[in-house]
Structure 1
Amino acid sequence: MISLEEFHQDFLQSILSDSESRGIMKPQAFFENVCEELINTGDLTINYTAAEYIKNGIEVYGYDFDEERKILTVLVHQFFQEDKIETLTKNHIKTKFNRLKTFLKKSLQGIYQEMEETSEAYSMAFNIFRYNQNKKVNKIRLMLLTDGKATRNLSELPNEIIGELPIELRVIDLEYIYKIFLTEYTNYQFEIDLELPCLEITTNSEEYKSYLTFLKGDHIVDIYEQYGQKLFEQNVRTFLQFRGNVNKGIRNTIEYKPEMFFAYNNGITATASDIELDNEKNIKKIKNFQIVNGGQTTSAIYAANKNSKLDIKDISVQMKLSVVKDKEKHHDFVSKVSEYANTQNKVNKSDFFSNSPFHKEMKNYSNRVWVAATSGSQRRTHWFYERVRGEYLNEQAYLTRAEKKKFQLENPKKQLLDKTFLAKSENVWLQKPDIVSRGAQYSFSTFAEDITNRLEKENLAITENFFKDAVSRVILFRTVEKMVSNATWYNGGYRAQTVAYTIAYLSYLVEKTGKFMDFSVIWDEQELPEHLITILERIAEKIYSEITSPPEGSANVSQWCKKKQCWESIKQLRIDIEINDELLINKEEQKYINREDKIEKKLDNSIEMQVFVVNTELEQWSILYNYYKRDYLKKRISHTQLDILKKMALGYLTPPSEKQSKILYQLYEKAIEEGVSF
């Protein structure tokens, strides 16, 4: 397992790589990286916004507002950026939180009136003032992020009161970030203590155990108050507010018929990695509790109590709890439960994007496709596709020093392909800068929807050329980030919006030519040609001027950039630019490339299927044959398919043909989806 010290070194290298490739300061890269992790864990929401404001006695770097729980979070950081792990002292904590408190008090008093209206700090201070004036805030969290290590007595800080609002102080240190990494790759647990009567359900499965129990309304409120979105990391749906009929029904039952809630509501489906029972066989502890169906029920009860002040003490909610101790099988189990259980409201297929074949395809090309040696280097490298944060580090966990060095040379940190960043670069080229401006998680959700639709229409959509072009668009995005940061006309603030709208506008100009961008010119050199950089510099300067001068009534630049009207306005700009033909290819060339790419992929897939089928043990084909030949399953496969499977199980096909391999492979995959284990 990766130690804290090893994680610290890798984490710093990630920050350095991110800083260099995107042209941003290391403290900014640190802050953005940690905030993205906290969004993934539910500690921050997709409303999180970076906004730096430093004055005498004031220091703040961003804020977040959890609309459902009415929690305002204001953020600061202490980035040591030292090779050894530094200790976060009492003085550090006191100084940072005092500066945050000063900013918070001044914001509540209306300091925004003294700020430049087009600055990000103005938007932050104004929103904090507005939230408070409109009585939207129930609690404020002051959060300190650090790459240092806080001692236990310093990390558990007493709450305070400012005005009438409770203030919670939180330190997110290196150990906390390390534990986020561990949750993905080890059996690190978060535990919920409670006392629940339960009934164990007897099953023949060795994969899981099931229990029936129930939660009282106040239990649900307390658990959600403490853990928030962390309870729904595996859930496919976020809370939809009181908009759909289901949620209105939940609210009405809470208000008018609370004693009937147990009878009317479908309850909660949850999973855990383990539970502890007391002597009376009651559940006293749940480890890694995840609500995979019933998120709306949970959130509705919480909102009814906190927002509408409804009494929830008489509410009882039934719960089906499945305990899956095998971590390797836990993710697939949860995904299946989510897919089959979520039928109350419409769930888009893209909501199950974590199981999309897109990731398998991208990982395959990531491992297989070499980047041409550039800048005099003799070593060829890969772009490493990271589906799960921390995967790059985890793959090195058990390598020897020599193997680790070889891995890092072949997969340099600067060529880490993060799925969230990929979503941003894809969306802007698809001319969705307003979507990207709404935040990384919102952008990723939209990207998932688009990819899912593509795969439904054409299962060969993700080809080697798609992979290369996607990497080229990432290079394009990073280059524009660096270019804007270093531009003489850039006065700071709204860099992310400027980058998004600049690339989207370039895509719009290319589209107007009736041709396509030839991304191979970027892939081959792993950098942008000078002519393209010149074009982007001219576009970016004009874009920056436009978005920082929003129309009257839209003084908040951040909010303006999130609107479709902003993009429509930008498209009306007339910038005298001529795109060199060397950067473009015509429709016929693009069709030929796509056709050849898909033919090659079909061939690759066919070879992969044959290799898989030949390498699979006869015993497994025998299990598969017995599974499919059962009477009630006979109608689901043809006589020919069953005959091929029988011959394979008996060892008569040596080797199977391409067509036979395809049939066998599809039967194998279908059985796995249906829960067959070997």
Structure 2
Amino acid sequence: MTLEEFLVQTRSEVDALVSDRIVAGAYLRGEQAFTDIVMQHMAEVGMTNDPQVLHIERKLGNANLKLNGYAVSEEADRLDLFVTLYEGHQTVEPVADAEVTRAAEQCLKFLNGAAGGKLLKAIDPADEAYEFSQTVNDCYDGLDQICVYILSDRQAKTRNYKPREVAGKSVRLEVMDIERLFRHWSEGKPRDELVVNFDEVCGSPLPCVYVPGENDDYDYALTAIPGAALRQLYEKFGARLLEANVRSFLSQTGKVNQGIRDTLRDEPERFMAYNNGIVLIADGAGLSRTPDGSAGISWLKGMQIVNGGQTTASIYFTKRKHPDVDLARVRVPAKVIVLHQHDPDAEERLVSDISRYANSQNVVKISDLSANKPFHVELEKLALSTYCPDGVGRWFYERAAGSYNVLLAREGTTPARLRQLKEAIPPARKLTKTDLAKYVNAWAGKPQLVSLGSQKNFQRFMAEMSDGEAALPDVAAYKGFIAQVILFKAVQKIVRSGGYQSYQANITAYTVASVARLAGPAFSLEAVWLKQGLSPQLSAWIAEVAADVDRILRQSAGARMVSEWAKKDECWEAVKAGRITPPPSGVPELVR
């Protein structure tokens, strides 16, 4: 697929998302649809965490402000802001640096207004923008990293700009244009952007023992990475530096290991003796000579840590919380595996096995990393082999990020074949792991977990599966999951078209959970699967439930922000205790 073909495909996804929203009775600009698509991709590859679409475009005094989306890290120490330049062209067009700079300035002015509190005085407290402005104002002093991403469906000449300073903090500027998106899509390895030059980071190549592999799979090297360099890399790349399984585990366990922290503070020179070190993979390596003439690693391309994520994060967070820690005396033992696989599936299996075996030798349980993988693999197989009731269409379970696009590229070899594929498996029927966790947990009566955000909810979903023996799904279970997906999406459309100005995500999750609770065993998921939709009677009842849920959420929240209140178990208890319209008679999906 060429860059221009990818642009047309992306435009089609945007148009489909806009049309889908119009059918639901709501309006969505192409700019916002593009923002949503790109932000979700960035979240999947670890560039950001749980991004939210939020369109703000207004004046503050003489300044023009603009924002299209945001993401706040779980610890409220990192803030990502997104501003979008979308034209909807069918051909690849350039975007001028001046236009990119202007969009970035508008976003920076929003940040400055929110951080200083000026914006709070200028907007209505009922406005959803007010809540986010309050969040920025509250957490600004504790932020360690701020990045403004300029998203565009055009081709940028410059992608990285000098950092700016806003209210005493450095703000990184970065462009995600159509060419960069295409590179992620076509290569299937966004980690290729993680290029580390140790001559620059450490001042010289890393001394190493390099061992060529006995086959074509990989070479490997043993080295020691300076603690200050590892901290700097984590600061620059964040969670992207960690392989997906390690990233998921680390988010569940907390950032700082006490033993690592104590060694860093009290005996930094013994860190290498006490610590097991890290294991990392790379897609390429450059070898040279160190000042004493020995072999050294000068650069790594596509570097990711598959074991030792907690060590890496602990070094970063310990130094942040205790600036007096001397990382100059810290060395971290590292095993580097340089991959030579050119088959994406074979490489994925190799990386997964490296991660699994590396983590089987310490306190990280295998179940935390891979016991649930068979569940996802089986679900993927069921999606590929189970047709919708019309015998033509299918759903697509994207177990590995980007696999939907890989399918289109592999099997859509002609325009006609690609069109047929998209008709049979449209983007609207693509389902990711985080999507599944959201839909299933909402139906299971856990809207407070869903309200934590996609990544935290997914981690809880996986952790609960790990606590017991997760049964592999069969066809009946798969159809039940898809019915829950259909129901959630339908509720989402009803809420979006219902005139609710804010907290739509919370209203949706709590409405789904309330419908499941009130209907109980009488609800037929099979009926939803067979219809691939909801009856008018069920939709009408859901609209009433959503109105009740909205009222209860606001009343029970009191002076608290609804989005924060919705994350509490007490909120779910309040909704269950509230007055909600019971299911009426005559709903086909309710089997009396």
Same fold, judged at TM 0.5 (above): yes
Structure-1 residue corresponding to 2:202: none
Inter-partner Cα distance in structure 2 for 1:136 and 1:331: 37
> Residue 443 in 1 paired to residue 457 in 2?
yes
| Structure 2 letter corresponding to 1:12 | R
Q: CA deviation at 1:3?
A: 1.8
Structure 1: which 5+ residue stretches go unaligned?
374-378, 587-678
Instruction: Establish whether residue 388 from structure 1 lines up as the match of residue 397 from structure 2.
Output: no
Structure 1 residue 239 displacement after superposition: 7.7
What TM-score, normalized to structure 2? 0.88
Structure 2, unaligned stretches of length 5 or more? Answer: 199-204
Instruction: Tell me if the contact between 1:179 and 1:188 (Cα under 8 Å) persists in the aligned partners.
Output: no
Find the aligned partners of 1:65 and 1:246 in 2 and give their Cα distance: 20
Kindly indicate whether residue 6 of structure 2 is the aligned counterpart of residue 7 of structure 1: yes
Instruction: State the distance in 2 between where 1:34 and 1:237 align.
Output: 20
Aligned to 1:284: 298
The aligned residue for residue 305 of structure 1 is 319
CA distance in 1, matches of 2:277, 2:374: 31
* Matched letter for residue 576 of structure 2: K
Q: Is the 8 A contact 1:144 1:170 kept in 2?
A: yes
Question: Among residues 278, 284, 308, which one is paired with 1:268 in the alignment?
Answer: 278
Are 2:565 and 1:560 aligned? Answer: yes
TM-superposed CA distance for 1:241, in Å, is 9.0
Name the stretch that deviates more: 526-535 or 73-82: 73-82
Q: What's the offset of the Cα at 1:464?
A: 1.1
Equivalent-residue separation in structure 2 for 1:583 and 1:68 (angstroms)? 42
Match of 1:64 among 53, 59, 71: 71
Residue aligned with 2:419, SS: helix
One-letter code of the match for 1:300?
S
Deviation, 1:320, is: 1.0
The superposition leaves residues 440-464 of structure 1 with CA deviations (integer Å, 9 ceiling, x where unpaired) of: 122222333445567x2534xx111
Aligned to 2:491: 480
Paired position in structure 2 for 1:184 = 188
Contact 1:41 1:229 in 2 (8 A): no
Structure 1 residue 80 corresponds to structure 2 residue 79: no
Deviation string, structure 1 residues 625-671 (Cα, Å, up to 9, x no partner): xxxxxxxxxxxxxxxxxxxxxxxxxxxxxxxxxxxxxxxxxxxxxxx
Question: Kindly tell me: are residues 517 and 450 of structure 1, through their superposed partners in 2, closer, same or farther at Cα, counting changes over 3 Å?
Answer: farther
SS in 2 for 1:345: coil
The corresponding residue for 2:102 is 95
Where does residue 356 of structure 2 map in the other structure? Answer: 339
Q: How far, CA to CA, are the matches of 2:190 and 2:330 in structure 1?
A: 36
- Indicate the residue corresponding to 2:206 in structure 1: 196
1:22-61 to 2 correspondence within 5 Å?
22=21, 23=24, 25=28, 26-46=30-50, 48-56=51-59, 57-61=64-68
Q: What residue in structure 2 maps to residue 412 of structure 1?
A: 426
Matched residue type, 2:527: V
Q: Secondary structure at the match of 2:528?
A: helix
Please tell me the residue identity of whatever aligns with 2:235.
E
Corresponding residue SS for 2:363: coil
Q: How does 1:233-244 map to 2 (within 5 A)?
A: 233-237=243-247
What's the CA shift string for 1:48-90, capped at 9, x where partnerless?
A: 4443332221222333334679433222212222322343223
1:365 to 378, 382, 385: 382
Is the alpha carbon distance of 1:21 and 1:435 closer, same or farther for their aligned partners in structure 2, counting shifts above 3 Å? farther
- Report the 3-state secondary structure (helix = DSSP H, G, I; strand = E; otherwise coil) of the residue aligned with 1:584: coil
Cα shift at 1:350: 4.7
Q: Structure 1 residues 245, 496: closer, same or farther in 2, change over 3 A?
A: closer
SS at match of 1:548: helix
TM-score norm. by structure 1 comes to: 0.77
Q: CA deviation at 1:147?
A: 1.9
> What RMSD, in angstroms, separates the aligned Cα atoms of the two structures?
2.8
SS in 1 for 2:334: strand
Instruction: Trace 1:634-649 onto structure 2 (pairs within 5 A).
Output: none
Q: Which of these two proteins has the greater Rg computed from alpha carbons? A: 1
Q: Distance in 1 between matches of 2:191 and 2:328?
A: 35
Matched residue, 1:494: 503
Distance 1:245 1:559 in 2: 22
Q: Could you say what secondary structure the match of 2:577 adopts?
A: coil
d(CA) in 2 for partners of 1:453, 1:305: 33
Structure 1 pair 84/199, CA: closer, same or farther in 2 (3 Å)?
same
Change (3 A) 1:410 1:293: same
For 1:258, the equivalent position in structure 2 comes to: 268
Deviates more, 1:419-428 or 1:253-262: 419-428
Distance of aligned partners of 1:392 and 1:244 in 2 relative to their CA distance in 1, 3 Å threshold: closer
Counterpart amino acid of residue 506 in structure 1? V
Q: Aligned residue pairs: how many?
A: 565
- C-alpha contact 2:257 2:310 (8 A) present in aligned 1: yes
Q: Cα distance, 1:266 vs. partner?
A: 0.9
* Secondary structure of residue in 2 paired with 1:278: strand
Q: CA 1:27/1:547 → structure 2, altered by over 3 Å: closer, same or farther?
A: farther
Q: Is the 8 A contact 2:545 2:581 kept in 1?
A: no
Question: Following TM superposition, by how much is the alpha carbon of 1:214 offset from its aligned partner in structure 2, in angstroms?
Answer: 0.4
Q: Distance in 1 between matches of 2:220 and 2:226?
A: 20
After TM superposition, give the deviation of residue 421 of structure 1 in Å. 2.1
